[in-house]
Amino acid sequence: MKVPVSLLLIFFSFLSCGQNADPFYALRNRMVEIQIESRGITDNEVLEAFRKVERHKYVLNEYIPYAYNDSPLPIEEGQTISQPYIVAFMTDALDLKQNDKVLEIGTGSGYQAAILAEICDSVFTIEIHETLGKKAREIFNRQGYNNIISKVGDGYKGWPDYAPFDAIIVTASPGKIPEPLKEQLAEGGRMIIPVGSDPVQHLVLLKKKRGKIREERILPVRFVPMIDSTGTRY
């Protein structure tokens, strides 16, 4: 019988960590080392956040054994939780500081928001699907993230009440960069966003300096589309 390596690791970490320990601890450290650190992400704050946030709590029950695999996974409403490396890459690209105010568009499972909340004092996140938005808020409460403020709504418009933001991360892909998000970026702010129509999308990094925005295309990617309240893609 062939036993998947992830199950073996869960078993052995149970043995080695005692009853109160997190059985996924070893798997998570392996994920950080092999998928994130060895691919060039060295920022300690970022790595520490990935060691801490329990990804298995953000995936559907049937995918728990695969929570630390090197891949995206399905969540409800036909959406996905991104591959850990992509979450890390986007987080790292934002060059976050502790007192940054961050806006995320596309809460989904809540995993990316939790990572941001480990690094920054205040995180705002918007999800268009009510079921996902509500479920994520329950997880944030359970995990004690009182620095995450979430709402259900259309993130294309940003969150003017709390703008400007030092960093904006968009995890659903529009055809063009939403103007309201550019406007809500603070001076010195950074935004990372997957842009383009299927099947070609690119991660674009924007930086606002002296009121001007500079854009840099950095990586071909594949994200779910950004949609409006009628389900039409932007």
Question: Three-state DSSP class for 172?
Answer: coil
- For residues 105 and 194, is the Cβ–Cβ distance under 8 A? no
3-state DSSP assignment of residue 124: strand
Question: Helices 44-52 and 84-93: crossing angle, nearest 10°?
Answer: 140
Stretch that binds ligand SAH, among 72-80, 116-124, 190-198, 209-217 (CB under 6 A): 72-80
Question: Applying CB under 6 A, does 111 fall inside the site for ligand SAH?
Answer: yes
Residues 113-152 that bind ligand SAH (CB under 6 A): 126-129, 132
Decide if residue 208 touches ligand SAH (CB under 6 A): no
Site for ligand SAH contains 90 (CB under 6 A): no
Report which of 213, 194, 208 is spatially closest to residue 166, judged by C-alpha positions.
208
Q: Which of 37, 43, 54, 154 binds ligand SAH (CB under 6 A)?
A: 154
Q: Which of 35, 79, 91, 184 binds ligand SAH (CB under 6 A)?
A: 79
69 binds ligand SAH (CB under 6 A): no
For ligand SAH, the closer CB: 6 or 91: 91
Would residue 71 show up in a list of annotated catalytic residues for this protein? no
Q: Tell me the β-bridge partners of 220.
A: 202
Q: Which DSSP category does 128 fall into?
A: S
Indicate the residue whose CB is closest to ligand SAH.
108
Contact 118, 143 (CB under 8 A): no
Rounded CA gap, 27 and 4, in Å? 12
Please pick, among 13, 82, 150, 173, the residue that the annotation labels catalytic: 82
Of 163 and 227, CB closest to ligand SAH: 227
Residue 52 φ/ψ, nearest 5 degrees: -90, -45
Among 9, 41, 81, 185, binds ligand SAH (CB under 6 A): 81
Residue 19 amino acid letter: Q
User: Where along the sequence are the contacts to ligand SAH (CB under 6 A)?
Assistant: 77, 79-82, 105-106, 108-109, 111-112, 126-129, 132, 154-156, 171-172, 224, 226-227
Active site residues: 82
